[in-house]
Chain A
Amino acid sequence: MVDLSWQVPTALASVLFIIGLLGLLARRSLVFVLMSIEIMLNAVALLFVTAGMRWGSPDGQIMFIFVINLAGAEIALGLILLLRLRTRLTTLDSDAANLLRDVQV
């Protein structure tokens, strides 16, 4: 058990969230876009656990469980859409999927 103020883990969560945001904005490969979303979700989960530490309450870890739950459901759907897109467009470039209609192959 560390003897830190709540600001230190919150700063760590902020840094991780910003790194995830940079990856989300800068990368074009959909694998890295999904991974950046996971990084940001994980940073938010750290924020909940930090808040639980700050107030000495189990609610932070309960919200952590729900965030993991959400990440699992999100990644299952995200990966299946990634596989469908790969078979349709034969690329993982997010700019290639900019048409809201069937592609003419």
Chain B
Amino acid sequence: MNVSGFDLVFYGAASFSMVTTAVAITRSNPVYGLLNFVLSLLGMAVVFYTLGAPFAAALEVIVYAGAIMVLFLFVVMMLKLDRTTVAREASWITSAIWIVPILLGAMLGGELVDVLLQKTGPGSAHQVISPQAVGLRLFTTDLGAVELASMLLLAGLIGAYHLGRPSSEGD
């Protein structure tokens, strides 16, 4: 297997994403965890670009890192987490709590390795899929799915509005 420069970019971004994600779920301060996850999403955007999906890479930065995670960060800052909360959070992260999750994760990982080692079908198509191709397909043949997605967003909007209303009990 000959390794080109683009492959090195892929492997670099992939290992960056894995490391920052692992750091993100082990922090005791939620803000540090979220910032590490945003870094991981930026690494994922590079992975998408090297996989020939430039539109997905742009959406990952603009929508995922830029809108969703920033909303998350604002809410965490509204929660007014103080030092005692972070210290209690740190006391919950012991090495014992990771044992059972790691066992379950290893079982799932073993099955996935088994799937990945099967050699079936031809290799990859290896072509860049342009945003134009995505948009053409999205707004012609998949138009019904777009309408369903907009219904989902409307349901989310109404649900968030209803739950976010100050209630008459005053809580």
Instruction: Number of A interface residues at 8 Å Cβ cutoff, please give it.
Output: 73
Interface string of A31-55 (1 = CB under 8 A from B): 1101110110010011001101111
The CA of A57 and the CA of B41, in the complex, are separated in Å by: 23
Total CB contacts across the A-B interface at under 8 A = 222
Q: In the bound complex, what is the Cα–Cα distance between A9 and B10 (angstroms)? A: 9
| B142 with A62: CB separation less than 8 A | yes
Contact with A along B89-110 (1 / 0, CB 8 A): 1001100011011101100110
With CB as the reference atom, state the residue of chain A lying closest to B92. A28
Q: Find chain B residues with CB under 8 A from A42 CB.
A: 41, 44, 64
- Cβ-defined contact, B17 with A59, below 8 A: no
Q: Count how many chain B residues have C-beta atoms less than 8 Å from C-beta atoms of the other chain.
A: 80
Q: Is the CB of A71 within 8 A of B152?
A: no
Whether B160 contacts A76 by the Cβ 8 Å rule is: yes
Beyond A7-B116, A35-B24, A46-B47, is A22–B102 a contact (Cβ under 8 Å)? Answer: yes
Give every chain A residue within 8 A of B53 (Cβ-Cβ). 49, 52-53, 60-61, 64
Inter-subunit contact A76/B126 (CB<8 Å): no
Interface of B: prevailing SS: helix
Question: Once the chains bind, are B156 and A77 in contact (CB under 8 Å)?
Answer: yes
Contacts of A21 on B, CB cut-off 8 Å?
101, 104-105, 108
CA distance in complex: A68, B27 (Å): 25
A77 to B157, CA, bound (A): 8
- In the complex formed, the residue of B with least CB distance to A29 is B89
Interface centre among B2, B14, B85 (most CB of A within 10 A): B14
Contact A2 B101 (CB under 8 A): no
Q: Confirm or deny: A26 has a beta carbon within 8 angstroms of a beta carbon on chain B.
A: yes
- Answer whether A58 and B129 are a contact pair too, CB < 8 Å, given A25-B100, A65-B138: yes
Q: Is the CB of B51 within 8 A of A35?
A: no
Indicate whether A27 sits within 8 Å of B25 (C-beta atoms), given known contacts A80-B160, A83-B75.
yes
| Min C-beta distance of A18 to chain B, whole Å | 4
Q: How far is the CB of B71 from chain A (nearest CB, A)?
A: 7
* Cβ-defined contact, B124 with A5, below 8 A: yes
Q: Is the CB of A87 within 8 A of B171?
A: yes
In the complex formed, the residue of A with least CB distance to B81 is A92
Distance between B119 CB and nearest chain A CB, rounded to angstroms? 9
Could you tell me if A92 and B79 are in contact, using CB atoms closer than 8 angstroms?
A: yes
14 sample A-B contacts, Cβ–Cβ < 8 Å, listed by A number: A1-B50, A1-B52, A3-B2, A6-B124, A14-B112, A20-B25, A22-B25, A35-B34, A39-B25, A39-B40, A56-B125, A62-B138, A73-B153, A80-B159
